[in-house]
Amino acid sequence: MSELSSAFQRCGIEPGEHQGGSLAVRSPVDGAELARLHETPASQVNEIISRSKAAFLKWRNVPAPVRGELVRLWGEELRQAKQDIGYIVSIEVGKIIEEGLGEVQEGVDICEFALGQSRQLCGKTIVSERPGHRIMEQYHPLGPVAIITAFNFPSAVFAWNAALALVCGDPVIFKPSEKAPLSGIATFKALERAIARFGDKAPEGLAQIVIGKAPLAEALVDSSSIPLVSATGSTRMGRAVGPKVASRFGKRILELGGNNAMVVTPAADLDMALRAILFGAVGTAGQRCTSLRRLIVHRAVKDELLQKLLKAYSTLRIGNPLTSGTLVGPLIDEDAYDAMQKSIRAAQEQGGKVLIGGERALEAEFPKGFYVHPAIVEMPEQTAIVRHETFAPLLYVLTYDDFDNAIEVHNDVPQGLSSCIFSNDMREVETFISAAGSDCGMANVNIGPSGAEIGGAFGGEKETGGDRESGSDAWKQYMRRTTNTINYSRELPLAQGITFV
């Protein structure tokens, strides 16, 4: 625990902040208590929102490239704290240390992206049908943004949203998952240090954090003073958040469930596919929204691929995520383990055959940690349980004969986040990424479904939410758009040729 205390100290988390509170934070590694955090009283939420509104009135007038300087400083602070925040992510969430460090790197990368974006918040100039007129679009700051994150990416998702919101002129209020608040606090502390370095151009209340359980998130979702709510979590959570925000005519960014598939054709490089399957299906113990859940493989190569896959699964190193060489850490908690067991039983009842895995691992060594052997279940068809997302290392194998049928099976699930195909056949590849192919927000070729880069827009369709974060033009969601028509003539012609005297 001394190593954790040292990491807390270097990240700026004082003993009084992580001791003596009511919110117990436990590590999935061994069940040990990591901290007792002080929860934000519900009575303070309105005051926090008021401070954010006041900060907005000042921050929106700071030039965007100057706002970009703040996220540049934040990126510097994240670089310096990368080892410590990555360690906290690993011990709090159960990711192997490489993935913990990779998550912090995502924060660094989005700060670099947002810095460049701060000089490119561009609108269009549009020709007018009327002489002596010009039409142009502008993007203006929107207002306070609430950022509600899930346990599986407790650092990166906050950074994705906050970096863009800040350069767009919006203050942020951060509500980390109660299952992984320490990683969020450490990331937030790096932002606070950047704000201190930035100086008095940053108004009080520009970035705030609330610690606690669902009622705090609900208060942010319900507030008409928060024009944008970004929420990451389950589809069930999205069904609650979406209508509430819509009922008050707010904007939302929902990043919800994924039931991601890989199509492997006879023209695939099977060794490449194997490596992609392993990281996609067992990385983060299958607890990524982009984790590989379904393997749709052509009958001609199924046996060969499964032979390779089963051999690789039998040698996976399961253990303490902080130990070098570990590839699979624990599930987040007992509920996640129970959900996996329930899905395996349902799959068997629906005709599935367990090829490997599913059993609890390392129970003697870690009686309070929920480690499992990643499972592969061969299914006769895409049944109800296969259409259901199970947040665990559970991979379903489906067989196809006809490529069009493979795409049909691929799309026949409620979720639409990430997808991929392994093939060296140009026609198969182009069909998969065409309008008639994958219906997901992300469609990859010869790489797995997880591990998206910052530069592209991240998000999916259908029950995934339909929204986008991170790169491309995702920044537009954090701003309000105006269309301006400017008459520089001495006449007043009306549009559509209307005459009105």
CATH number for position 86: 3.40.605.10
Q: Do 245 and 359 belong together in one domain?
A: no
Q: Are 192 and 174 in contact (CB under 8 A)?
A: no
3-class secondary structure per residue, 330-360 = CCCCHHHHHHHHHHHHHHHHCCCEEEECCCE
Q: Judge whether 149 lies within some domain.
A: yes
What span, in angstroms and rounded, lies between the C-alpha atoms of 354 and 341? 12
**Which residue range(s) make up the domain with 78?**
2-256+465-482
Q: Judge whether 121 lies within some domain.
A: yes
| Residue 160 host element (H or E) | helix 156-167
The pair of structure tokens assigned to 63 is 């030039």
Q: Do 88 and 155 belong together in one domain?
A: yes
- What is the model's pTM? 0.97
Q: Do 220 and 264 belong together in one domain?
A: no
Q: Judge whether 455 lies within some domain.
A: no
What span, in angstroms and rounded, lies between the C-alpha atoms of 323 and 256? 31
* pLDDT block averages, 10 residues each, the chain of length 501: 90 95 97 97 97 98 98 98 98 97 98 98 97 98 98 98 98 98 98 98 98 97 98 96 98 97 98 98 97 98 98 97 96 98 98 98 97 98 98 98 98 98 98 98 97 94 97 97 98 92 77
What span, in angstroms and rounded, lies between the C-alpha atoms of 90 and 183? 9
Q: Do 349 and 231 belong together in one domain?
A: no
What span, in angstroms and rounded, lies between the C-alpha atoms of 420 and 442? 8
Q: Judge whether 134 lies within some domain.
A: yes
Q: Are 415 and 442 in contact (CB under 8 A)?
A: no
Q: Do 319 and 356 belong together in one domain?
A: yes
Q: Is 255 a catalytic residue?
A: yes
**Total structural domains within the chain:** 2
The region that residue 163 occupies, defined by phi over 0 for left and psi between -120 and 50 for alpha, beta otherwise, is alpha
Taken in order 258, 416, 280, 184, is the CA torsion positive or negative?
A: negative
Q: What is the pLDDT of residue 501?
A: 77
Q: Do 81 and 50 belong together in one domain?
A: yes
Q: Do 218 and 271 belong together in one domain?
A: no
Q: Which of 31, 36, 29 is nearest to 13 (CA)?
A: 36
Q: Do 476 and 383 belong together in one domain?
A: no
Q: Judge whether 496 lies within some domain.
A: no
Q: Judge whether 330 lies within some domain.
A: yes
Torsion angle of C-alpha atoms 183, 186, 190, 195, degrees rounded to 10: 110
Q: Do 375 and 273 belong together in one domain?
A: yes
Which CATH number characterizes residue 307's domain? 3.40.309.10
Q: Do 208 and 353 belong together in one domain?
A: no
List alpha helices for 223-361, DSSP H: 235-247, 270-282, 299-314, 334-349
Q: Do 160 and 297 belong together in one domain?
A: no
8-state DSSP, 236: H
| Residue 181 host element (H or E) | helix 181-198
Q: Judge whether 500 lies within some domain.
A: no
What span, in angstroms and rounded, lies between the C-alpha atoms of 324 and 254? 35
69, 106, 178, 255: the catalytic one is 255
Q: Judge whether 403 lies within some domain.
A: yes
Q: Do 288 and 242 belong together in one domain?
A: no
